[in-house]
Structure 1
């Protein structure tokens, strides 16, 4: 095969988790062309991988609905693809699979391990054990296509050169650069804001960190602006950088503190030591950031909240589990950061 189409449309963290896999693939199979089908916004995530093209899926515009997907499939087939690695395996990619199959193009889809994950997250007769990581599941797809890869051979890229805008924001600070991404999709896996402010305040007072806050949207930006205004060593990055520049800054951090969310995976794909805070989700589900030791995951009191994980994504919160993250003490977070 000379040309493999890789499908991963969303979400940002899942897209970022493809990067170490694709880097490893590229190192072992340099002559196989890769085209990644994803959303236009995510294209900078793949910027350091050579001989890789990104094809934009406009799922809210010209590629919307079955007719739009038919058009998209025709566009992709015209690229002379030989096989498809579907790392998403959702309704949209299943529709595309039908069109590809009609043309005799081989499609291998990721096994999401749904039954295993149900057993891990159910409240009764829970099977509490670590599952295969998402990165390993992605690698299995390429193995099934005839391209086995060993993720232990992965190498991280060199640090990106900072743009003038980034230099202006960072002021070339010689302190340790600490990124903090305090938000997640669900409140159930978002560290309480008052506790996060306590963490930021104590780290700021140590005067050894330059702290960069990451988020998105006006609401989060307003919250982060309010926090940053109170401290001398804290900078809100929201709205000040393009996504491409934001990735360059993340790739130059000394450490990242994040929830179980996309920013953790963005930092980890550059080899940045990444500390994650977990609520009703758990690393055993396979979403631990790439290459990070389990000690970098800070968990709530599992003896008190023994139904954790209650869901894979944080969208299911049993009664009485609304405050699980309050059991993570700010001192624990600070000690972990300083020790690293």
Structure 2
């Protein structure tokens, strides 16, 4: 199979490479360069690859949108892992979602690569740059390939040696746009976006009704989860915050969102608020139904997580609690109504661009010193601002 692929890559119209003279090879190179420029000028098929995770995929939405406006007649397809495909399936700017099933291993990856090759893409944009995405980009044989710059060396110097050369680094969504800058696209300033179906609206409505929550009920959403321990504000802090919210905002309902892995934190928060209006939906509704609840909420309190990015996409103000990560890494909220609480006095931050399963310094001060009282005060300030904005809008 590899031999056949190599012959196709080097041959033209079935001719063997060994039969081509120098002049022919030179002509082929010139023709290839012309074809590349033609593909950049007016592509008919564009492939984007970002395999995971929630936040990263949401952050691709500005790129997808401006590509659609730049090339309205082009097919824009996306490659993603199966778990995250729902984030793209309802996006009107995406034509086809190609799904990777990690359980299928290399055979499944090989089969997908053949399908992508048969699709004959003009452009491939690799926003992941790992083994799988590189393999698929190579397999699809796009006429032009663009890749996202991860700045691995600069990031490593910053995280490991605290040599910060990233103060002026753009947020990740803008770095995704920069990957395809040669296509003459620019940031439209709209920000991220997310789409879902009427079925997800109905799913959220059923969950709300089961807990006695009407459409008119004001919600505050809490998202205690994150991919790594060092990104998670302690569950007991979330529980104490919920107690204070129930005390100060008795007319509000609290909705706790997350996956099955966040169920223990959800139970701890629910048990702490005796008699309050609390909906624990951790592990009990789909990702897009969770997005519906976030859209309905006055505000979301979250860690550096996928649900935080969903709040940004649906324009719900978010109060993000930053532990092991910092703004320079590119994942902080960008909308003006959102806020970040972080401990800026620690020399050990950032300890990782992803996170750890335990604090490497042993003290976890980055999160421990963000007390529930500090978070409540900032949240109350945000709610006052939101109320003032509503009153101004009603005038």
Shared topology, TM-score over 0.5?
yes
5+ unaligned residues in a row in structure 2: which ranges? 1-42, 383-395
1:86 to partner: Cα distance: 0.6
Trace 1:323-338 onto structure 2 (pairs within 5 A): 323-338=365-380
1:271 to partner: Cα distance: 1.6
More off after superposition, 77-86 vs 22-31: 22-31
Q: Following the alignment from structure 1 to structure 2, what is the Cα–Cα distance between the partners of residues 157 and 263?
A: 12
- TM norm structure 1: 0.87
- Choose the corresponding residue for 1:119, options 144, 148, 157: 157
* Residue matched to 2:219: 177
Q: Is 1:90 matched with 2:130? A: yes
* Residue matched to 1:311: 352
1:157 to partner: Cα distance: 7.0
Contact 1:298/1:328 (<8 A) preserved: yes
1:209 to partner: Cα distance: 2.4
1:330 to partner: Cα distance: 1.4
* Residue matched to 1:26: 68
1:204 to partner: Cα distance: 1.4
Identify, as 1 or 2, the structure richer in helix: 2
Q: Deviations over 1:22-60 (max 9, x none)?
A: 233334433222111112232221245214121111232
* Residue matched to 1:148: 185
* 1:265–1:153 distance in 2 versus 1, CA, 3 Å: closer
* 1:295–1:221 distance in 2 versus 1, CA, 3 Å: closer
Contact 1:21/1:151 (<8 A) preserved: no
Question: Secondary structure of the residue that 1:36 maps to in structure 2?
Answer: strand
* Residue matched to 2:255: 212
Q: Following the alignment from structure 1 to structure 2, what is the Cα–Cα distance between the partners of residues 119 and 154?
A: 29
Contact 2:270/2:278 (<8 A) preserved: yes
* Residue matched to 2:232: 190
Q: Deviations over 1:273-307 (max 9, x none)?
A: 11110112112211113x3349611102x22x123
The CA RMSD measured in Å over matched residues stands at 2.5
1:201 to partner: Cα distance: 0.7
Q: Following the alignment from structure 1 to structure 2, what is the Cα–Cα distance between the partners of residues 191 and 155?
A: 25
More off after superposition, 324-333 vs 163-172: 163-172
* Residue matched to 2:320: 276
Contact 1:130/1:286 (<8 A) preserved: no
Q: Following the alignment from structure 2 to structure 1, what is the Cα–Cα distance between the partners of residues 359 and 103?
A: 31
Rg comparison, structure with higher value: 2
Q: Which has the higher contact order (CA 8 A, sep 6+)?
A: 1
Q: Following the alignment from structure 1 to structure 2, what is the Cα–Cα distance between the partners of residues 226 and 319?
A: 26
1:169 to partner: Cα distance: 2.7
